[in-house]
């Protein structure tokens, strides 16, 4: 997956217990992991902290070595600043292509504003969105 | 206080013990002849029924264990054919296999006799209307208490468990004077009265209760009696015996164990008979049971037997409150739960690791069981719907196997504590004070 439009997100899982998230934040600080974006998802089962970081591969190793449970997840970003309705067209394109959106969240960085989405088949999604002319975020822009 | 069977209930101890010994010898001889299981056991131990002459020599008869019930599932321990049976009850067993108990009509009659004596001993009579919120069905509590109350001549309101608001309404609308079920459910009923803005003292005629099927304490009894004005009597039994069997009399100082129905040995760690009133492991022999005999059965409870004559006039020994278990069985809301049953459910689920932890509490006097299970690393997903489905599917399976509603908490891979040696799977935070 060396597609420049595919972004690696770290998903850090915590048990739903009081104080767990504070523990994670402290471990990330100790591991010197700089988060550009983070998003907290709550389910009845686990808390999932989704983060975009400078060097996901290295951050992943550092996090895991400190006993946190994490996964690398491929996501894609639909640019929203210069194309009103981009999210709607992205969703329509993906729907027509039979690609399921699992979750998404907004991102506003220095270089780009986007809606980041997790789909069940990122490679296929990128191809479909590009073919339909939906503007995508490059990994280097995050 | 009226006796149900005065001649037997007040028989002098020496005479009673002689009767008990004679019944014991008779039962051992009968089962040596009728039961392949007992025959083989005694033969393998190199003994013959004639060797049993007194309490000491009776101890040569090998123990019967819970594993024997499991190994002989479903009905290999029955010594009567089905056409001679009157009923079957089924309770939870150790490893997913339930315990199946058969009864002849004689067995049902003796079961009722035992409970009817107990009910009369605390003043229940034909004038009483008993609301029975023990579960009806495979569980022995519902039908057992029901048939005994009918034998006594009392009338029964068979509400079974659940729908507490309706239980409360019926208790107020009808002249209910007695009730039976688990102590925790009685607490729950009392709470529901409060919640409905009603007063169980003023708005009902209930004055007597039978409580059993789960561990509870004297302080719990004091609390519920103070709160409700109902005199609560402890009940001891197990489905292997027949079901609920022995009740406390009006003196509330331990359940009278009818010595002409049951012989309980209290053994110390070396298998020696404990002195009167000393605590030890209970080993139970049913003296007249026909369909599903029980000889030297290790029920797993720890208690003491007190032969001191009771102020009520009954000469039969009293069983003190249970003070623990010899195995890892838990009693939750009156239901026997073995960690091995939980392990079998977890073992079936391919998305779980074998690790688990059980936490019990009884906030508001209702037992609550939380089972933490651990997701297998390969199945870690961000799909919260799928995670939820996994947890709920285990809860449903636990409900099937344990017959108990539990809360299943899915935990992350590697986060449940690993133990060396015998795992400490249970944290019991239940408070009986």
The pLDDT assigned to B422 comes to 56
The closest of B273, B272, B324, B274 to B299, measured between CA atoms, is B324
DSSP code, position B275: P
Q: Which residues of chain B fall below pLDDT 70?
A: 1, 93-96, 419-423
Chain A positions touching B383 (Cβ under 8 A) are: 102
Q: Between chains, do B383 and A14 touch, taking CB under 8 Å as contact?
A: no
**Residue in chain A lying closest to B408 (CA):** A45
The 10 Å Cβ neighbour count of residue B362 is 20
pLDDT tens-digit readout, B295-309 = 999 999 999 999 999
Domain ranges of chain A: 7-73, 74-141
Q: How many angstroms away from the CA of A19 is the closest CA of chain B?
A: 15
Provide, as residue numbers in chain A, all residues whose Cβ is less than 8 Å from the Cβ of B384: 41, 43-46, 48
What would the CATH number be for the domain defined by A74-141? 3.30.2130.10
pLDDT at A43 over 80: no
Integer angstrom CA distances of residue A136 from A76, A105, B351, B415: 8, 15, 36, 38
CATH topology of domain A7-73: VC0802-like (3.30.2130)
Domains A7-73 and A74-141 alike in fold: yes
Q: Which of these, A87, A79, A76, A83, lies nearest to A117 by C-alpha position? A: A76
For residue B123, which of B210, B189, B185 has the smallest C-alpha distance? B210
Contact assessment for residue B145 and residue B244, using Cβ atoms and an 8 Å cutoff = yes
Cβ distance B387 to A46 less than 8 Å, yes or no, reads yes
Q: Would you state the pLDDT for residue B155? A: 98
Q: How far is CA B392 from the centre of its chain?
A: 29
Rounded to 5°, the CA angle B261-B263-B266 comes to 150
Picking from B383, B388, B390, B412 by the largest number of A CB atoms within 10 A of its own CB, the best residue to mutate is: B412
Cβ pair A46:B388 closer than 8 A: no
Pairing of strands A7-15, A46-53: antiparallel
Query: In angstroms, what is the C-alpha Rg of chain B?
Result: 23
Q: How far apart, in whole angstroms, are the C-alpha atoms of residue B335 and residue B329?
A: 10
Confidence (pLDDT) at B125: 97
pLDDT at A141 over 90: no
CB contact under 8 A, A45 and B387: yes
Q: Token pair of B249, please?
A: 């009399």
Asked whether the beta carbons of B388 and A44 are under 8 A apart, the reply is yes
Cβ-based interface (< 8 Å): residues of A facing B: 11, 13-16, 41, 43-46, 48, 69, 71, 73, 102-103, 118
Task: State how beta strands B208-212 and B178-181 pair.
Answer: parallel
Kindly report the average pLDDT of chain A as a whole number.
86
The alpha-carbon gap from A82 to the nearest alpha carbon of chain B, in Å, equals: 31
How far, in Å, CA of A10 to CA of B190, rounded? Answer: 52
Report the residue of chain A nearest B414, measured CA to CA.
A69
Q: pLDDT value at position B244?
A: 97
Size of interface A-B (CB pairs under 8 A): 42
Question: What's residue A84's pLDDT?
Answer: 66
Q: Which residues in chain A are contacts of B382 at CB distance < 8 A?
A: 11, 41, 48, 71, 73, 102-103, 118
How many Å is the Cα radius of gyration of chain A?
16
To 10 degrees, what angle do helices B140-152 and B105-121 make?
70
B383–A45 C-beta distance less than 8 A? no
Alpha-carbon gap: B392 to the closest alpha carbon of chain A (Å): 11
Q: Does the structure's ipTM exceed the value 0.85?
A: no
pLDDT digits (tens, 9 = 90+) for B207-259: 999 999 877 888 889 889 999 999 999 999 999 999 999 999 999 999 999 99
| Contact: A48, B382; criterion CB under 8 Å | yes
In chain B, what are the domains?
7-16+65-327 (3.40.50.12780), 335-428 (3.30.300.30)
Residue in B391, B413, B414 closest to A45 by CB:
B391
How far B385 CA lies from chain A's nearest CA (Å)?
8
Do B388 and A44 make contact, defined as CB atoms within 8 angstroms?
Answer: yes
Structure token pair of residue A77: 């970003």
* pTM flag (> 0.90): no
């Amino acid at each position: 997956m060396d597609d420049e439009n595919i972004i690696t997100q770290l998903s850090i899982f915590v048990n739903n217990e009081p104080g767990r998230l504070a523990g994670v934040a402290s471990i990330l600080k100790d591991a010197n992991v700089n988060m550009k974006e983070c998003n907290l998802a709550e389910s009845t089962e686990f808390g999932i902290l989704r983060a975009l970081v400078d060097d996901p591969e290295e951050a992943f190793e550092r996090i895991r070595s400190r006993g946190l449970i994490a996964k690398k997840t491929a996501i894609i970003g639909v640019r929203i600043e210069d194309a009103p309705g981009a999210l709607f067209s992205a969703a329509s394109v993906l729907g027509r292509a039979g690609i399921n959106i699992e979750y998404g969240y907004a991102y506003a960085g220095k270089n780009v504003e986007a809606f980041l989405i997790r789909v069940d088949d990122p490679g296929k999604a990128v191809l479909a969105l590009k073919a339909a002319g939906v503007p995508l975020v490059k990994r280097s822009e995050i | 206080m009226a006796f149900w069977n005065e001649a037997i209930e007040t028989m002098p101890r020496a005479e009673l013990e002689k009767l008990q010994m004679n019944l014991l010898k008779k039962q051992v001889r009968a089962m040596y002849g009728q039961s392949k299981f007992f025959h083989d056991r005694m033969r393998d131990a190199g003994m013959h029924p004639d060797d049993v002459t007194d309490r000491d020599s009776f101890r040569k008869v090998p123990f019967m264990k819970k594993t024997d019930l499991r190994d002989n599932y479903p009905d290999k321990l029955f010594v009567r054919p089905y056409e001679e049976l009157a009923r079957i009850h089924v309770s939870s067993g150790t490893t997913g296999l339930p315990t199946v108990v058969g009864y002849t009509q004689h067995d049902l009659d003796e079961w009722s006799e035992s409970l009817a004596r107990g009910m009369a001993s605390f003043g229940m009579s034909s004038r009483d209307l008993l609301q029975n919120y023990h579960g009806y069905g495979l569980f022995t509590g519902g039908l057992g208490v029901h048939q005994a109350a009918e034998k006594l001549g009392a009338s029964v309101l068979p509400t079974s468990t659940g729908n507490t608001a309706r239980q409360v309404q019926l208790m107020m609308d009808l002249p209910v004077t007695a009730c039976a079920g688990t102590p925790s459910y009685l607490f729950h009923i009392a709470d529901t009265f409060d919640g409905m803005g009603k007063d169980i003292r003023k708005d009902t005629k209930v004055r007597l209760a039978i409580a059993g099927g789960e561990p509870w304490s004297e302080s719990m009894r004091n609390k519920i009696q103070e709160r409700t004005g109902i005199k609560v009597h402890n009940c001891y039994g197990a489905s292997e015996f027949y079901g609920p069997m022995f009740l406390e009399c009006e003196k509330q100082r331990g359940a009278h164990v009818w010595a002409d129905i049951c012989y309980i040995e209290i053994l110390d760690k070396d298998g020696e008979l404990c002195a009167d009133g000393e605590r030890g492991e209970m080993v139970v022999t049913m003296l007249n049971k026909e369909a599903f005999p029980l000889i030297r059965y290790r029920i797993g409870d720890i208690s003491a037997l007190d032969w001191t004559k009771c102020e009520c006039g009954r000469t039969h020994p009293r069983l003190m409150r249970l003070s623990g278990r010899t195995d890892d069985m838990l009693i939750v809301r009156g239901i026997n739960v073995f960690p091995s049953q939980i392990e079998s459910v977890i073992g079936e689920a391919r998305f779980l690791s074998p690790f688990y932890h059980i936490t019990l509490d009884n906030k508001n006097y209702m037992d609550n069981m939380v089972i933490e299970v651990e997701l297998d690393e390969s199945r870690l997903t961000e799909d919260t719907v799928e995670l939820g489905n996994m947890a709920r599917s285990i809860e449903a399976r636990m409900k099937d196997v344990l017959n108990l509603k539990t809360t299943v908490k899915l935990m992350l891979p590697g986060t449940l504590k690993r133990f060396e040696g015998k795992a400490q799977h249970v944290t019991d935070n239940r408070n009986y004070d």
